[in-house]
A = this chain, B = another copy of it.
Amino acid sequence: MRASRQKAAESRERILDVAARLFREKGFGGAGLEVIMQGAGLTHGGFYGHFQSKEQLAAEAVARALQRSGERQSRFTSIGELVADYLTQRHCEDRANGCALAALGADIARQSDEVRRAPTLYLRQRIDQIAALVRGEPAKQRQQAIATLAGLVGALTLARAVDDPALAAEVLEAAREVFSKPDPALN
């Protein structure tokens, strides 16, 4: 039954990837260890050979999801591109593979500091990135970056919370329009 160290390391990676998806899709409470381990092709008894607790898994899974988002977003060299990539109907529908801040925002706020560490780091990086893409004096750049990020996460949250596809689409489109050109007065 013992697997090689190589295989064990791969198992850990698979658990993290599956957890990162399932937590975003179903929430921390909605995704059980049984299902996560099954998704990784293992039985649930082996979980504690890889992680100390579900909470530790949550922290690492959130970190992983946000790292992937960060890699994707850091490629963009204009706000328009970044916004257009974030506020798509596809992203709105595909919680499992999308932004963890939008998929778990309220849940993260209720978790331990351990889980909230990665979101903090991620937000700092996004602020710095977007601030560099905006014109204006530095303090205003940061303000615009923060407001834009809030707008993106909020728009996705609202579009998903709403029980009417047309309204959801309108929310995405309006936010795309407004946040693609932050603070036109400065341009």
Contacts and interface: CB of A to CB of B under 8 A. Distances in A.
Given A146-B174, A147-B178, A161 B101 contact: yes
* Among A27, A103, A105, A124, residue most surrounded by chain B Cβ atoms (within 10 Å): A105
A161 B109 contact: yes
Stoichiometry (number of copies): 2
A10 interface: no
Nearest to A185: B184
Task: Tell me the dominant secondary structure on chain A's binding face.
Answer: helix
A109 B95 contact: yes
A120 interface: yes
Contact of A152 (B30, B109, B154): B154
Contacts of A163: 113, 116-117, 119-120
A35 interface: no
A164 interface: yes
A16 to B, nearest CB: 20
Given A29-B30, A105-B160, A150-B150, 5 more contacts: A27-B106, A106-B157, A119-B162, A120-B164, A178-B183
